Amino acid sequence: MKVLVVDDEPNILLSLEFLMKKQGYQVFIARNGQEALDTAFNEKPQVIILDIMMPDVDGYEVCQRIKKEKTLSNTKIIFLTAKTKEADIQKGYDAGADFYMTKPFSTRELMKKIQEYQN
């Protein structure tokens, strides 16, 4: 299974990459919104783990654009972000997210969710 991880914090990328590889997933990494869109369109991952606050295109927009793309209709998007306000969460789901997780997050819970999507 292909998983795309989008974040601009190196340590978080490192930990997520380790977790995915350990499960035997194929991991792709993007450090900003544009990179995330490019990789998503090229690789068509099943799951995308997406941060919201990024320097160029923000997570909400990335999510909306992917959800509009027909070839990516099977892709699940999980927001993983430090934005914890109720309004932000609502905005995330409005943008078309499948799941919203706030940082700091539980690695176990995240992995469980991904496994759900794999089946």
Partner 1 sequence: MAVSVLILISFGYLLLLFVIAQWAENSARKGRSLINNGWVYALSLTVYCTAWTYYGSVGHATRFGIDFLAIYIGPTLAAPLFWLVIRKMIRICKTQHITNLADFISTRYGKNIELGVLVTLLCLLGILPYIAIQLKAISVSFNILQEKSPSTNTFFLYDTSFYITLGLALFTILFGTRKVDVTERHEGIVAAIAFEAVIKLVAFCAVGIFVCWGAFDTMTEIFEKANQHKELQKLFLMNDYVAGRWFYLCSLSMLAIMLLPRQFQVTVVENVSEKHINKAIWLFPLYLLIINLFVLPIAFGGKILLGDTVDPDTFVLSVPLYLDQKFLAVIAYIGGFSAASSMLIVSTIALSVMVSNNLITPLFVKTGFFQTQDKKSWQKILIYSRRISIIFILYLAYLYFVLVASRFSLVSIGLISFVAVAQFAPSILLGIYWKGGNRVGAIAGMLLGFIVWFYTLVVPTIVEAGFLPQALLKEGFAGLVWLKPTQLFGLNGLDPLSQAFFWSMLFNFGAYMIASFWVEENAQEHNQAEIFVNIYQYSTSYESVVVWKGSAFIPDIISLMNNFLGEIRTQKALKVFAQKYQSNFDPHKMTTDPQFINYAERLLAGSLGAVSARMMIASVVREEQITKAEVVNILKQSQKLIKLNTELEKTSKALQNANAKLKKMDKLKDDFISTITHELRTPITSIKAFSEILVDNTDLEEDEQQHFLHTIIRETNRMERLISQVLDLEKLQSGNASLHFSCFNIHMLIKDCLDTLKQIVKEKNIQIDLITIEETTILEADYDRITQVMLNLLYNAIKFCNEQNGIIKIITTPNQHNQLEISVIDNGKGIDPQYHEVIFHKFYQAENQQFKKPKGSGLGLAICKQIIESHQGKIWVENLPENLTKFSFLLPLQQKMTE
- Which residues are near partner 1 by CB under 8 A? 8-9, 11-12, 14-16, 18-19, 22, 53-55, 58, 82, 103-108
- Rounded Cα distance, 17 and 5, in Å: 8
Residue number, 16 or 97, with CB nearest to partner 1: 16
How near is the Cβ of 80 to partner 1 at its closest, in Å?
A: 9
How near is the Cβ of 71 to partner 1 at its closest, in Å?
A: 30
57-80 in b/e burial notation, b at 16+ Cβ within 10 A?
ebbbebbebbeeeeebeebbbbbb
Residue number, 32 or 46, with CB nearest to partner 1: 32
How near is the Cβ of 30 to partner 1 at its closest, in Å?
A: 14
26 closest CA partner among 9, 42, 8: 42
81 closest CA partner among 1, 14, 23, 9: 9
Residue number, 58 or 98, with CB nearest to partner 1: 58
Residue number, 13 or 97, with CB nearest to partner 1: 13
CA atoms within a 13 Å half-sphere pointing along the CA-CB vector of 44: 6
